[in-house]
Structure 1
């Protein structure tokens, strides 16, 4: 059974008022890092396929050259001294994720907190993380910029949703 046009929109995974403090760009780093561990070239290819299947806008580049999107195996087998390729993905016009092909065993990308302000854009982020996590069957954690100590937000496969993963220390 499908919902009709007058059906209520699904409830957001997270409410902006509950997580705005975590996504405040004035609180430090503005580009939280996403690290999906224990991946393979096949996982990278699954993400590339997802980008195309979803019809998300994207731009693949090596240095200053914009190129057609290659397969993951070709990107990950480039010479060690080659420039690191970037894949910019826009799951919505105002929200961009920048993937860097550093190694096959970890998928990493970042997003700009400046682009994630408000409920609508938070919903875009949650949908994006969920789509990737479901495709890979793996957690998709966000870390404060430049750290990998503890994620603050992320998709958890067991819960099949994006959740807050960090609480500030009491003190």
Structure 2
């Protein structure tokens, strides 16, 4: 059974209401948590690409990428849990794992299930919540996320009405 039903949450996936690139994050993380995610991606079979600015490199150890100078080129890890769904991890801070998804790619129950599965795999591996906010939204107001206790993705806010 699906964690969430499309008809119940589709307004959270409307780019006009939520912004096209909602923020997804895992709070209260460490270098070890980042490394756990990098190991998960490497062992998952998901297609991925690490880059610094425009240059593509092999995926480094978390400690190396997170200790880069503040003025270094932006580092990002692009991960495709399926061919048509992309998550872009950005290494802004040790304290939270931050990534974006594109709502235009997440339309319908099948794609929602991909997102819920992706959040669940990350949350289970870390033993931490994985929450989604509207683009540029307040970290105090998540809309949905993986809950460690319930071991599923739950709705965390009332869906907006257009």
Q: TM-score range by the shorter chain?
A: over 0.9
Kept in 1: contact 2:11–2:159 (CA 8 A) = no
The DSSP-based 3-state class of the residue aligned with 1:81 is coil
Structure with larger RCO (C-alpha < 8 A, sep 6+): 2
Greater fraction helix: 2
- Seen in structure 2, the aligned counterparts of structure 1 residues 66 and 13 have a Cα distance that, compared at 3 Å, is same
The DSSP-based 3-state class of the residue aligned with 2:124 is helix
Match of 1:158 in 2: 149
Q: Could you tell me which of 17, 26, 33 is aligned with 2:16?
A: 26
Mapped to 2, the partners of 1:146 and 1:155 lie a distance apart of 20
Q: Which runs of 5+ in 2 are unaligned?
A: none
Deviations 1:60-95 (A, max 9, x none): 000000110001000001112111200000000010
Mapped to 2, the partners of 1:75 and 1:33 lie a distance apart of 21
Deviations 1:31-72 (A, max 9, x none): 110121110000000000001111110010000001100010
- More displaced, 36-45 or 17-26? 17-26
Structure 1 stretches of at least 4 aligned residues deviating more than 3 Å after TM superposition: none
2:34 equivalent to 1:44: yes
Q: Could you tell me which of 83, 92, 96 is aligned with 1:102?
A: 92
2:50 equivalent to 1:60: yes
Task: Please state how far the C-alpha of 1:169 moved relative to its aligned partner.
Answer: 8.1
Task: Please state how far the C-alpha of 1:28 moved relative to its aligned partner.
Answer: 4.0
Question: Under a length normalisation based on structure 1, what TM-score does the superposition of the two structures give?
Answer: 0.90
Q: Could you tell me which of 98, 114, 132 is aligned with 2:122?
A: 132
The DSSP-based 3-state class of the residue aligned with 1:134 is helix
The DSSP-based 3-state class of the residue aligned with 2:68 is coil
How many residue pairs get aligned? The number is: 160
Task: Please state how far the C-alpha of 1:22 moved relative to its aligned partner.
Answer: 1.2
Question: Under a length normalisation based on structure 2, what TM-score does the superposition of the two structures give?
Answer: 0.95
Mapped to 1, the partners of 2:159 and 2:27 lie a distance apart of 24
Mapped to 2, the partners of 1:82 and 1:92 lie a distance apart of 30
